[in-house]
Copies of this chain bind each other. A is one copy, B any other.
């Protein structure tokens, strides 16, 4: 049975979060943990965390919600936010805004589109984002800036980069090296490729818990402001636009299916995390390391699907009170 679209109360959300975590605990099919680097391969498939931060600051958590995991491609959302702050819409000369229609690390599209990656959430696009950030910075500075940024967004100074992950990525990242060199051949990477990739791999190696991640995502549900400090992170328009990109392109070649089943802006990572945004209502982080064939968290997507069914939070749901 499908829930009606009434907004659940705060107590209800706590109960719903607990129910979903309980339901996921017993789930037999959990997908396959990423194994291309040892630090990811050794994460137990049983892990599951869920955190929901409401617009008023309330936090609802369940499962392994305080255990840091490798956020991987979710970092692309924060990197995009940083770079838009630095160069604004200039970015769009070097990166597109369309879904890729193919696997997340495809190089074919770069050939037919002359080195311009389709969007900032595929690897090639995020590598260009790093290159733009390095326009005025050393890698060390850019990495420091990113770390300070997510710590401030989450209000948590304990967030760190997992150097073991960063190193492992660097040692095996031949496909990303291919992408970066290929774009450099088209003139769309300016800094030395190893510096760009060093920065990129450190961003991917950010380790955050569901709680930290949901807190860091608050500005995306709150018109670009940090709802606690009230400070503006980005303009309202930019917040909406980042959400739109997450909706169109946030899940590699599974983005259409995510919109269809869940109907929220979201961004996934191969560490098994997903950040999802309910504009005006909630920032959500979920983590389960087993991936489906598209490289997105299998249980993470399922948990979000349940959450949206129980809350009516899909952006395609008629708005609360609007029809009375």
Q: Which residues of A contact B (CB under 8 A)?
A: 2, 5, 7, 55, 96-102, 106-112, 118-119, 174-175, 177-182, 184-185, 193, 221-223, 235-237, 239-241, 243-245, 247-249, 253-257, 259-260, 263, 265, 279-281, 314-323
Q: Are B119 and A280 in contact, CB atoms less than 8 angstroms apart?
A: no
Nearest CB on B from A54, distance (A): 10
Which chain B positions have C-beta within 8 A of A110?
A: 107
Contact between A255 and B316, CB atoms less than 8 A apart: no
A252 to nearest B CB, angstroms?
A: 10
Partner of A174, one of B98, B111, B185, B315: B185
User: A265 touches which one: B221, B316, B320 (CB < 8 A)?
Assistant: B316
Assembled-state Cα–Cα distance A19/B2 (Å) = 40
CB distance from A145 to the nearest CB of B (A): 25
Least CB distance from A112 to B in Å reads 8
Min Cβ gap A284→B in Å is: 15
Chain B contacts for A239, CB-based, 8 A? 316
Residue pair A316, B174 in contact (C-beta under 8 Å): no
Determine the chain B residues whose CB is within 8 A of the CB of A247 once the complex forms. 247-248, 259, 316
Is the Cβ of B101 less than 8 Å from the Cβ of A98? Answer: yes
Q: Which residues of B contact A55 (CB under 8 A)?
A: 318, 322-323
Bound CA span A106–B235, Å: 37
Residue on B nearest A56 in the bound complex, by CB: B323
CA distance A265 to B221 in the complex (A): 19
Would you mind naming 28 contact pairs between A and B with Cβ atoms under 8 Å apart? A2-B237, A7-B322, A96-B256, A97-B260, A98-B101, A98-B253, A98-B256, A99-B99, A99-B255, A101-B101, A101-B102, A107-B178, A108-B111, A174-B181, A174-B182, A222-B318, A222-B323, A236-B317, A239-B316, A241-B316, A244-B314, A247-B248, A249-B256, A279-B315, A279-B316, A280-B323, A319-B320, A321-B321
- CB distance B260 to A256 under 8 Å? no
Residues A107 and B97 in contact, CB atoms below 8 Å apart:
no
Most B-side CB within 10 Å, residue of A7, A184, A318:
A318
Contact among B106, B236, B265 for A2, CB-based, below 8 A:
B236
Residues of B within 8 A of A260 (CB): 97, 241, 244-245, 248
A49–B108 alpha-carbon span in the complex (Å): 39
Q: Please state if B256 and A248 are interface contacts (CB–CB under 8 Å).
A: yes
Give A257 to B95 CA distance when docked, in angstroms. Answer: 12
Q: Is the CB of A280 within 8 A of B318?
A: yes
Question: Which residue of chain B is the closest to A277 with respect to CB atoms?
Answer: B316
